[in-house]
Structure 1
């Protein structure tokens, strides 16, 4: 669920840090992801087996995480085909099974594969193909190997397209308020767009990345964790918080001691978690540790609102945390 946020702008000086976020975080971020996905595709062509591919897979996640929750411009649709989650109806698993049981062109042709379900592309596909014990034992001459190579080639194509497409969004952010800019009519709009993404990322992490596996009291749902088969739940949650604070610091252009202290608390809570996949949360102690991490992320969100938004007159209207 994305953060539904209405921001009322008061009469305060506007726009600080938009260019810094664009030049120091977003542009290098999409470029790094393009490089990482190309390296992943090359690694799959050299050795498609799950064990051999895991380092390149994790490196692609490292590159994706800083930009994953900044859904602006081409990143918005790209996030659906690169890291579709949650897949509540299991569409990805069904599509992958169908491909492996067939000789369809999409099995080996990246162009045809680009037409399959978003839930069966990108990281969701690799989480199953590399992490599911029933699928990950494939050999180099198997249909699964062919599919892994197709998935990674498709990811490389998406990474390259995202890097190219982001140039226009970067220019729109940098020229906010100038004549001819129909996307950001004022500098304030550009600032608010980035600020809203920070809050949205933190809320998504607390409520969905951590909330889904926690489930209800006495009824945890560990297999609802994000890409748990390949060990991504905890790294993704922590990376999201780290990225949100990095963007907040660039956007604010002033020291954020409270935000930095709150991020340290998130890191401390994350370090206390024994299983990064969250598959042990039926144990009360493990569940408590995950609940503490969730609380720390929510506290970080509140502090960002107070330390970054409030000084600029940005006040939240309604959002999903209100229950409206």
Structure 2
């Protein structure tokens, strides 16, 4: 009888633990990140309106700050970020076929009127929208000198305004009802149980780790015989390693909240961050040389170690699995 009572108490407690965890993650991990993203994106629009020149330090600083906020939230690919392909409109990458520069070049060459307003630009292909398109406008030597300066200026301002509209809509949707849906599951809502909500958050952690290892590091690493340093994320703006660091720190916070601050998991993130910092290689140019390549691979291996720990140890403790990865594919 005593064993039965203990078992029942444990079963009853599980939803309470899950609900507390999801509420904490929503209030202290998700909402602050989307609030920061909306705020910094609005500041990017203000900076672009004030000075649209690609060499403007204020504009570049606003861009980097807003992009920092996106990277910190980029693993949260569910709910409001999925509506109307918002996440992809903000972040169309990898772009293995070079669609983004071609799309921007066509717009500039034709002086397409779609760039006259952010509302119209929302109908534009996602390849010409978002943070990666803005990087080309500000940092690519060809795009930033192409065509008429006044059109490039307007296009830069419109891309910034489009980013601001998307990020504001994401944050508004979280505030309006999505936070309530995920923290208070119901049979008529997006999540029927606390376990489903917790699984979504666990999947965000595993997907974020996979993307950082396989894509942010894997693409520039290529193979030993054929390294691809210019496939590194945002190498033009010199922030490839910065993206990895921000992502890891944000994922570490999520892992801490899911694992009740497990010291071993936390320390594993610290080791990866320390090794990344020691590279002193902002754009992973070192992948092209055997000795420095090994050091980049070591960072990737540490991240893969975290993935294994999360999948094999943390997942079973939470009673969830990684599930389908919505970021698979190009």
Displacement after TM superposition at 1:231 (Å): 1.7
Q: What is the aligned partner in structure 2 of residue 3 from structure 1? A: none
Moved more, 106-115 or 73-82: 106-115
Alpha-carbon distance in 1 for matches of 2:182, 2:294: 41
Which aligned pairs between 1:234-273 and structure 2 lie closer than 5 A? Answer: 234-252=241-259, 254-273=260-279
Displacement after TM superposition at 1:180 (Å): 3.2
2:194 to 173, 187, 190: 187
Displacement after TM superposition at 1:278 (Å): 1.6
**Structure 2 gap segments, 5+ residues each:** 1-10
Structure showing greater radius of gyration is: 2
Alpha-carbon distance in 1 for matches of 2:322, 2:103: 40
Higher relative contact order (CA 8 A, sep 6+): 1
Alpha-carbon distance in 1 for matches of 2:325, 2:62: 37
Q: What is the aligned partner in structure 1 of residue 44 from structure 2? A: 40
Tell me, yes or no, if the aligned pair for 2:108 and 2:147 is still in contact at 8 Å. no
Which aligned pairs between 1:3-152 and structure 2 lie closer than 5 A? Answer: 13-14=14-15, 15=18, 16-52=20-56, 53-76=59-82, 77-136=85-144, 141-152=149-160
Displacement after TM superposition at 1:311 (Å): 1.9
Q: What is the aligned partner in structure 2 of residue 201 from structure 1? A: 208
Q: What is the aligned partner in structure 1 of residue 282 from structure 2? A: 276
Alpha-carbon distance in 1 for matches of 2:274, 2:256: 20
Tell me, yes or no, if the aligned pair for 1:214 and 1:287 is still in contact at 8 Å. yes
2:179 to 163, 167, 170: 170
Tell me, yes or no, if the aligned pair for 1:274 and 1:286 is still in contact at 8 Å. no
Q: Secondary structure at the match of 2:212?
A: helix
Displacement after TM superposition at 1:141 (Å): 4.8
Displacement after TM superposition at 1:285 (Å): 2.2
Tell me, yes or no, if the aligned pair for 2:182 and 2:197 is still in contact at 8 Å. yes
2:297 to 291, 295, 300: 291
**Structure 1 gap segments, 5+ residues each:** 1-10
Tell me, yes or no, if the aligned pair for 1:82 and 1:121 is still in contact at 8 Å. yes
Instruction: Note closer, same or farther for the CA distance 1:280–1:139 as it changes in structure 2 (3 Å cut).
Output: farther
Alpha-carbon distance in 1 for matches of 2:148, 2:30: 36
Displacement after TM superposition at 1:307 (Å): 4.7
Q: RMSD of the alignment, in Å?
A: 2.3
Displacement after TM superposition at 1:179 (Å): 5.0
Aligned residue-pair number:
308
Tell me, yes or no, if the aligned pair for 1:20 and 1:251 is still in contact at 8 Å. no
TM-score (norm 1): 0.88
Alpha-carbon distance in 1 for matches of 2:236, 2:284: 10
Alpha-carbon distance in 2 for matches of 1:316, 1:38: 34
1:213 to 214, 220, 230: 220
Q: Secondary structure at the match of 2:279?
A: coil
